[in-house]
Structures are given as C-alpha cells and as structure tokens.
A and B are shown apart, each in its own frame.
Chain A
C-alpha cells in the first residue's frame, strides 16, 4: 500500500532522514517512535508531499512514486487517499471556520459531494468521533483540546482515505482524553492503514501491531510492538523505555546519556551508546534480523544489546551440600539483575562462583559470549565485585590512594602520576573529595558511606562492564543507602554498567533492578522483569518475600481529602 525506500531528506547540510525504508500493507498499522528531533514529523510531511528540503529515494503509494508526482496529481492523492491527523491540536484548525465547515471542506473541494451532502456527511463523521450536534457549529477556540483532536480526526476521515498518518495524536491530551482518543483510533484502525508517529510509548503500544524506532533519521529497530517494548533489542529503544514513566515500572527513571546529534559517519547512536566498539564509529549498521524472533530487526553492529554474562546450569557445592543448583542467569549490558532470597538461598554463592572465588562443580559461565575458564586478569578487568562490609573489604594498612589504585597496580596501568589522575577522576565519579588530603586518609577514619564509596571507586577504576554488588548497602543507614543506589543508577546510565545486585530486601531490588531473580535453597525459582515479578509473583515464596518486605504503614488511604465525603453526600 505505502512503501518508503531509502528516503532521505536534507535541510541544507543537515540530513534529517537517512535511508528510511519500510512497507505498510493494506490494513496494517505501524507506529514510529522516537524522541523529538529524530525526524518523525519530517517523515510524515514528506509522505504527504509537503516537506521542505531536498529528497532522495522513493515514497510509493500503490506503486506510484509520490515524490515524482506533479502537484495536481499529488493534490488529488492528498486527503482522498492519504490523510493526516496533525500534531499541533491547538492551531491545526483554522480559527475562522466552524468545525463542520472545516470537516466538509475537503469533500466539497475535491468534488466528492455537493456542499449540502458534504455538510451532512461531516455531521455524521463528527458524531462518529464523539462530538454532539451542539458542537458542530462551534469554532476551534470554543473547543477543548480533546474535542479539537476529535474534530481533526473526523476531518482526516472525511474523504475515506486508505492511509491515515497520525502525528503525535495524543501527546497534548490528558490521560483520560488520551485513552478515549486511542479507543477511537483503534476503531478506525480496522478500516484504515495506519501510520502513527509518537514519542508516547503507551499510546504506541495500543495503536499499532508493528513498531519502528527512529533515531537520528534512521530506523534502528523494528518488530512487533508488544515484544519490541517488552524486550528491546537496541540500546536506544531500551533508553526510551527506561525514561518512560510507566505505571507498572518500579525502577527509577533513567535517561539516555548525551543528546541528539547527527554524526557524519558511523552509527547515529554511537555518541550516546555505552557498548560501542571501533566499527560503530566507522560504518553505519544495517537493519538485520536478530535471532530473537522473526520480523524483528535491529540496526546495531553488536546485534543489539549485548548479553554480558550468561551462566548455564551453574552448580556449586560445599562438601555434600549443594549451595547452588543448575542456575542460569543472563545479564545484559546496562542492566541490573537483582538476586533476591533469604540468607542461605545461594545468592552469594552464585556471585562468588561467577567471580571464580568458589569452585563450580558443573555448568558454564560465558562472558560476552566467550566461555570463561580460569579467571585471569582479563576477566577481572571486566568483572568486579563490591562486598557488604566496606570496612573489612579495604585493607586497614592502605590509604585511599593505595586502595583505589591497587587494581591499576595489578594490571600495570599507567605511571604513578597517571594513576593518581585516574584515582582522582574515579573518586569524583563516586562523589568523594579528590584532594590530596583525602587521598591520604586510612579506612578507619572514613564513615560507612564513604568507605563503601571508596570500595566502589576501587571496583570502577578498571572500568569494568559488570559489577557484582553483594549487599552493598545493607550495612549503611537508609539515607546513605539511597545516595549509593542513585550513584549506581547514574553510573549505569552513563557507562552502561551491568550490575548483579544481591539483596535480601525485595523493596530495594524493586527500585534498582530491571529484572529480579529469586533464589531459594540454591534453586532459581523465579526470573522476570521487576514490574511483573512484583505485581504478579508466580511462586509462593516470592509472595512471602513480598509480604515480608518493609513497608511504612502510614500515608496509605490518605490520598482522599476528608471533605470529599461531605461534598459527595450533598
């Protein structure tokens, strides 16, 4: 029905759209998501032939190239075949005409109906989108945002178009109106081919079967909407999801580091990506099928978000006691996996086995897809661990400088001056003072929080990709703990750090993790996205953990002001 092939749009020197291709079949619906400035509106405008800028590539509608069409032919396609619902609800309607006239206008002007018929049909359409007859003769300034949006939708449907383009159809609306408009659009979807452009993920998920993610003028990921949003393949997609305030999400909102830029060559997302390799700077990745499922494509040299650590059937035993039984976990780049369970459930054993501090009796550990045998320096450059008690994990004979630079010593990195520079930078990163005085302090002069930060700095000094944190905050008081957790999340956002977060506190896990793995007696009994595990735990043991989670009894049920009872009874 509608297909784009290598569409590029250029404003002056800026390449706004870069080789965008997709095909929409009859009756299909596709949603394009992306931040503002990624070229969504430009795309919509170029399909309807009203963009400015220079074009290359094809926009084909039923085989005809719209870009090569003369203006009169194009005018016939507009609204009759391809109609659009505009982004700017407040000013997309002409203030001088009532909505009935505006809805009727395209029918009259395209010669489909006589003015009288057109008006009566316009009335039907307005009724269909949920406006009452009292509103027909109103002018845009007399309508609310939702009513204007309805009028715009009615207007778009006026000439029975085959393709409907929706540019941010719901972004200016309040949630209730938004929901109603989405319902309406879902009705319309049954008859029209729908192309929606939005940054609203929830709206996207309900509007279309397929989703394409647009970044820097390129499509970086496509796939069925549901799986794409629940299991994003491209780091940008995950960034969008993480920064979206989802009612079911429990982890703190995280942004995407950096800001939108358009590098001359290489992957457009490279400057903001935390898993970039050399080739990302050089070549533009093509959209490729991933192993995940059919029709799922990701444009990434690394094949999407990389699985950092994978364990298969990992078991460990103390004598005849099996402390860990065939545990399989996967930690992706930039992801926090919380290992939750009571003491003795095998959390620490799992961590220590991964680190090679505990002998595994069966199973394999893969780091970045490579089987890990004997842990050498290379392994520890990439995987570091933080322990529960910082006072014990830092030798009392080392001052801060010595403690933090020790890993550099071991890996023989840098001259003494360089080492000091690195240490100072890392201390800055963990929000500790980096002056010479502080560097000379010994651990017993540090507070618990400071000592844990020093331990974190020591773990980060080699810039590892994976951090295993074993109860890193349980020895700290809550306010210090909150700060340390924020620090973890910021580091993760900035560097794409994968974190295995071991805790017995499921309330804490809920705030920091993307996925929760519940262990009991050495077995993994539950593994899923945090939101899902918290809201509908599958295993009775998880339910027990949740019931036992710390909760403040105050504040609940106090959301309703006391006087509403009176108001309601009146």
Chain B
C-alpha cells in the first residue's frame, strides 16, 4: 500500500527541513547569551560561567560543527536546554504539544466537518436561499482576523456572560481529578477551539461548495439521479464523496499551518500551547527552544501529509494499484 519510495521522499524532506531549522535562527542578528541574560547580567557574569555556557552550546565552534553537535544530540533525544525556562527543551516543548494538538485537533475537526457539510449542502442547493445565506455568512466571518474573533468571543462569553473561563487550559491548583478534570479542560477548550474553527471554516466551506458544484455537472451524478436514488444518497454518496478530495488536501495543509498559526488565538486565550511557546522563544531569542518547536511542527506537518496520502489511497480507488483491489493480476478478457 505505502511503498518505500514514498517514504524516501518524506525522509529527504525531513533532512532538508532539519538543516533549514538549524541554520535559520543562527542567521538572526543578536547574541543568544545577551538575549537570555540581558546586558547587565552578562557584565556581572564570571568569564568561567560564560565560557561554560558557550562550551555547552558549542557556540565557539564553526557552524558545521554546531550542526553535527545538534544532530547527534537530537539522536539522543536531547533538544538542548532552554535558558528562559531553565529546563530541557524537550520537556518544555512536550508540555505544550498536547495542548496544541488538543486545541488544533478539535478546531480542525469542527471546521472540517462543519465546513464540508455546509459546503456540500450549499453546493447541492446552489443559488437557493440556504446557499446564499450560508455563503454570505461564512464570507463575513472569513473577513475577520483570528485574534479579533477570539477577542470578541472572549468578551461576549467570558466577560459579559461570564459562562466560560477567560484564560488558560485548566483551572490551576483546583486539584480536579477524573471526570471533573475532563470537564474543566473542555470548558477551557470551547472558546479557543471554536474561534480557531470559525476562522478556518471559510476555506473548507468554499472549497467543498465549489467542488460540489462542479461535481454535480458530472454524468455519473445524472446516472445516480436517473437510478431513482434518494437525494441524500445522491448528494452524499455520489457527489459528496467525490468532492471530498480537494477538501482533504486542504485540511491536511491547514493542519500544519494551524499548529503554528494558533499563536494568536493561544496568546489571546493564554493557552499554553506551542504558539505561546514560540512567542516567548522569539522574544527571548531562545534558539534551542525555537528549534525544538520548529522541529516538532515540521514533523507534525510531515506526518499529516503522510496521513493524507494514505487516506487518499483508502478512499480513491484510482490511486490504488490494480493488484490490491482484485487480489490478482488482470486478465485480458472481452
């Protein structure tokens, strides 16, 4: 099903991104030590301590050696040490990753489901009132930047109505366990996830709608209708399934972008995910942290792509090799 040649592509992409990931922050102006400890701290710092830090990150050696050092550390699962958080990067990053995955995953799930269903329905009823209402409404939402929607949600539900928490991913020091904990986390999730979903709904909706409209002109849709099938069956089984492909691609791309793109939303809601981490890392020029985050994001994107590719082969028989569908080689008959 999934051949070695395809994985080789992913490996190559991974290595290239690794290199870019390493070199890019090094090219930024400024000195990491200065950035972390500030000018004054450095003045008071003993030359020994400074020397030790430089040694630790191999900052005195050539870029190539730094890169090798970086790679070998990576193999050991060591992403470096964050000056800012005073902890290993892997620990910091992996504390943030679950939250981002939860947030982005939920948002994607909502926007993909709602977007493609609304898109298909809209396309099916092209030109009718439902279609025009949906189109206008979603285009209106699409016009706002994500943090703006987040802020409005925050003000409406958090400040005015006071039904949902203002910030964070869970109530700190509440000591919830079990179901109460899950409930708490969900309550914190609702606002950021729905803001993120709303922002990303438009693209999926438009794509699903447009594909649906063009698919409806295909002969096999006419066949399906002529067969006397119910409308649901025609619109979902025949037209819907065929219009999903570009939507899936779109969602795959969206996912990778959202992992970092959630930055604004995470900032607005102080959600302790990767976005917030990137923001802090950037402010402090915390190279190891940034590299760690970027690496995780890269891997996420690659894994998503791989997943989409496998999914494609699952639902589109045209991408499957013949043998896997019939179990035997084709004979020439008729």
At the interface, is chain B mostly helix, strand, loop or mixed?
A: helix
Verify if A91 is at the interface (C-beta below 8 Å from B): yes
When distances are taken between beta carbons in the complex, the residues of chain A under 8 Å from B334 are 130-132, 135, 144, 146-147, 150
Chain B: interface residue total (CB-CB under 8 A): 28
B75 CB to nearest chain A CB (Å): 43
Q: Which residue of A lies closest to B329 (CB)?
A: A134
Q: Which residues of B in the span 215-234 have a Cβ within 8 Å of any Cβ on A?
A: 218-220, 222-230, 233
When distances are taken between beta carbons in the complex, the residues of chain A under 8 Å from B242 are 94-96
Verify A75–B228 contact, CB threshold 8 A: yes
The docked-state distance in angstroms from the alpha carbon of A67 to that of B192 is 53
When distances are taken between beta carbons in the complex, the residues of chain B under 8 Å from A106 are 227-229
Verify if A25 is at the interface (C-beta below 8 Å from B): no
The stretch among B58-66, B121-129, B267-275, B313-321 that forms the contact with chain A is B313-321
Verify B222–A50 contact, CB threshold 8 A: yes
Verify if B187 is at the interface (C-beta below 8 Å from A): no
Q: Which residue of B lies closest to A147 (CB)?
A: B334
When distances are taken between beta carbons in the complex, the residues of chain B under 8 Å from A135 are 333-334
Interface string of A145-187 (1 = CB under 8 A from B): 0110010100100000000000000000000000000000000
When distances are taken between beta carbons in the complex, the residues of chain B under 8 Å from A92 are 219-220, 222-223
The docked-state distance in angstroms from the alpha carbon of A100 to that of B328 is 17
**Given A132-B333, A134-B331, A109–B325 Cβ distance below 8 Å?**
no
B246 CB to nearest chain A CB (Å): 14
Interface string of B295-334 (1 = CB under 8 A from A): 0000000000000000000011110001001101011011
The docked-state distance in angstroms from the alpha carbon of A326 to that of B242 is 73
Of the residues B224, B227, B229, B318, contact of A95 by C-beta under 8 Å: B318
Chain A: interface residue total (CB-CB under 8 A): 41
When distances are taken between beta carbons in the complex, the residues of chain B under 8 Å from A142 are 322, 325, 330
**Given A96-B317, A134-B328, A105–B220 Cβ distance below 8 Å?**
no
Q: Which residue of B lies closest to A107 (CB)?
A: B227
Q: Which residue of A lies closest to B238 (CB)?
A: A94
Verify if A548 is at the interface (C-beta below 8 Å from B): no
When distances are taken between beta carbons in the complex, the residues of chain A under 8 Å from B322 are 142
**Given A96-B317, A109-B233, A142-B330, A86–B228 Cβ distance below 8 Å?**
no
Q: Which residue of B lies closest to A76 (CB)?
A: B228
Verify if A79 is at the interface (C-beta below 8 Å from B): yes
Verify B228–A78 contact, CB threshold 8 A: yes
Q: Which residue of A lies closest to B241 (CB)?
A: A96
Verify if A225 is at the interface (C-beta below 8 Å from B): no
When distances are taken between beta carbons in the complex, the residues of chain A under 8 Å from B228 are 74-80, 106, 109-110
B297 CB to nearest chain A CB (Å): 33
Q: Which residue of B lies closest to A90 (CB)?
A: B219
Interface string of A45-64 (1 = CB under 8 A from B): 00010100000000000000
The docked-state distance in angstroms from the alpha carbon of A138 to that of B228 is 24
When distances are taken between beta carbons in the complex, the residues of chain A under 8 Å from B233 are 109
A51 CB to nearest chain B CB (Å): 10
Interface string of A93-105 (1 = CB under 8 A from B): 1111010000001
A83 CB to nearest chain B CB (Å): 8
Of the residues B226, B230, B238, contact of A84 by C-beta under 8 Å: B226
The docked-state distance in angstroms from the alpha carbon of A567 to that of B330 is 25
Interface string of B233-254 (1 = CB under 8 A from A): 1000010011000000000000
Of the residues B219, B224, B241, B317, contact of A139 by C-beta under 8 Å: B317
When distances are taken between beta carbons in the complex, the residues of chain B under 8 Å from A144 are 334
When distances are taken between beta carbons in the complex, the residues of chain B under 8 Å from A98 are 317, 325
Verify A75–B223 contact, CB threshold 8 A: no
Verify A105–B333 contact, CB threshold 8 A: no
When distances are taken between beta carbons in the complex, the residues of chain A under 8 Å from B222 are 50, 86, 92
Of the residues A75, A87, A130, contact of B230 by C-beta under 8 Å: A75
Interface string of A396-427 (1 = CB under 8 A from B): 00000000000000000000000000000000
When distances are taken between beta carbons in the complex, the residues of chain A under 8 Å from B238 are 94
Verify A137–B326 contact, CB threshold 8 A: yes
When distances are taken between beta carbons in the complex, the residues of chain B under 8 Å from A132 are 331, 333-334
The docked-state distance in angstroms from the alpha carbon of A130 to that of B224 is 23
Interface string of B188-209 (1 = CB under 8 A from A): 0000000000000000000000
Verify B318–A50 contact, CB threshold 8 A: no
Verify if A486 is at the interface (C-beta below 8 Å from B): no
Verify if A302 is at the interface (C-beta below 8 Å from B): no
When distances are taken between beta carbons in the complex, the residues of chain B under 8 Å from A93 are 220, 223
**Can you give 20 contacting A-B residue pairs, CB < 8 Å?**
A76-B228, A78-B227, A83-B227, A87-B219, A94-B223, A94-B238, A105-B229, A109-B227, A109-B233, A130-B334, A132-B333, A134-B326, A134-B333, A135-B334, A138-B325, A138-B326, A138-B330, A142-B322, A142-B325, A150-B334
A-B complex: 5 closest residue pairs judged by Cβ atoms? A78-B228, A88-B219, A91-B219, A139-B317, A94-B220
Q: A interface vs B, CB < 8 Å?
A: 48, 50, 74-80, 83-84, 86-88, 91-96, 98, 105-106, 109-110, 130-132, 134-135, 137-139, 141-142, 144, 146-147, 150, 152, 155
Known: A94-B238, A109-B233. 9 other contacts (CB 8 A): A86-B219, A92-B222, A92-B223, A98-B325, A110-B228, A130-B334, A134-B330, A141-B318, A155-B223
